[in-house]
């Protein structure tokens, strides 16, 4: 499956993740903290990458853990936590075989990565490490409306270089909500948080290097692809300082409730 190939490519671009991946809006974390189980203290961020989704969790004074299947991503996350003097316990671990004991966490989160492991095996592991009444919270970013034609990157460019897209159903609120319910989670709910993002040409081009598909390109095609995209965006931006993109955080969550 193409998506399985993509998820194995991110480590080589770990430094670009740190440089170009923007933090999530604070409103997302406000929502997460509002749903926290009473007296919850331990939280696990699965597929944490370089820590962009993990570091804001420390603001609540929680005991924070992060895991990712890619050693290079974890190395970068640990490097960043040392630079910023953050106490986060990072480990290499796959969502389908988590390196933690049963009933370890009050909350488990996944940021813009659940599409790589929407399956029964990962959910069994997530439920295993969650405490009774623990919260599972997943989220991702989507454009709420198509980027205006004058600011878009033509689809023909992506087609030219064989860009692999994530199947839309794997980032669809209704589909993910149904999956969590069928997996046995209770009180499943969804939320949508609109926000605007001001982004430069360098940031838009740089963000493309954090895609697993980008890493599948040859070195020659990487260079050509970025040059073509940069040229197009520079022409479209004109004299403006940045593009303004209308986006939306989409979140889905549910609780583990077992009879004890």
220 lies in some domain: no
Total domain count for the chain? 1
- In this prediction, residue 1 carries a pLDDT of 46
The pair of structure tokens assigned to 216 is 């599948």
245-252 mean pLDDT: 92
Q: pLDDT: is 173 or 149 the higher one?
A: 173
226 lies in some domain: no
- In this prediction, residue 53 carries a pLDDT of 95
126 lies in some domain: yes
53 lies in some domain: yes
Confidence of residue 6 (pLDDT cuts 50, 70, 90): low
207 lies in some domain: no
Mean pLDDT of the chain: 91
Least confident of 74-88, 134-148, 178-192, 243-257: 134-148
CATH number at residue 176: 3.40.50.150
Least confident of 11-20, 49-58, 87-96, 187-196: 11-20
7 lies in some domain: yes
- Burial 158-183, CB ≥16 within 10 A → b, else e: beebebeebeeebbbeeebbebbeeb
**Domain limits for position 98:** 2-144+166-198+246-255
Reported pTM: 0.92
In whole angstroms, what is the distance from residue 10 CA to residue 210 CA? 7
247-251 mean pLDDT: 94
Question: Does residue 92 contact residue 66 with C-beta atoms inside 8 Å?
Answer: no
58 lies in some domain: yes
131 lies in some domain: yes
| pLDDT tops 60 at residue 146 | no
Query: pLDDT tens, 13-42?
Result: 888 889 999 899 999 999 999 999 988 899
In whole angstroms, what is the distance from residue 51 CA to residue 42 CA? 16
């Amino acid at each position: 499956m193409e998506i399985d190939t993509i998820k194995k490519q991110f480590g080589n671009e770990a430094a670009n993740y740190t440089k170009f991946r923007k933090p999530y809006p604070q409103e997302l974390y406000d929502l997460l903290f509002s749903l926290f189980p009473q007296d919850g203290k331990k939280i696990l961020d699965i597929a944490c990458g370089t820590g962009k989704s993990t570091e804001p969790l420390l603001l609540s004074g929680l005991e924070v853990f992060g895991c990712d299947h890619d050693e290079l991503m974890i190395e970068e996350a640990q490097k960043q936590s040392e630079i910023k003097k953050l106490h986060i316990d990072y480990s290499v671990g796959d969502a389908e075989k988590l390196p933690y004991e049963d009933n370890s966490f009050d909350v488990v989160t996944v940021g813009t990565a659940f599409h790589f492991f929407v399956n029964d095996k990962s959910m069994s592991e997530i439920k295993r490490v969650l405490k009774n009444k623990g919260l599972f919270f997943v989220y991702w970013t989507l454009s709420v409306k198509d980027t205006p034609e004058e600011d878009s990157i033509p689809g023909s460019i992506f087609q030219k270089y064989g860009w692999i897209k994530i199947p839309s159903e794997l980032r669809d609120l209704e589909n993910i909500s149904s999956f969590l319910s069928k997996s046995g989670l209770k009180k499943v709910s969804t939320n949508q948080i609109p926000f605007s993002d001001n982004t430069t040409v360098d940031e838009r081009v740089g963000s493309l290097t954090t895609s697993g598909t980008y890493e599948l390109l040859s070195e020659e095609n990487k260079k050509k692809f970025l040059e073509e995209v940069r040229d197009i965006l520079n022409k479209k931006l004109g004299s403006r300082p940045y593009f303004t993109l209308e986006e939306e955080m989409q979140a889905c969550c549910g609780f583990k409730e077992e009879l004890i």
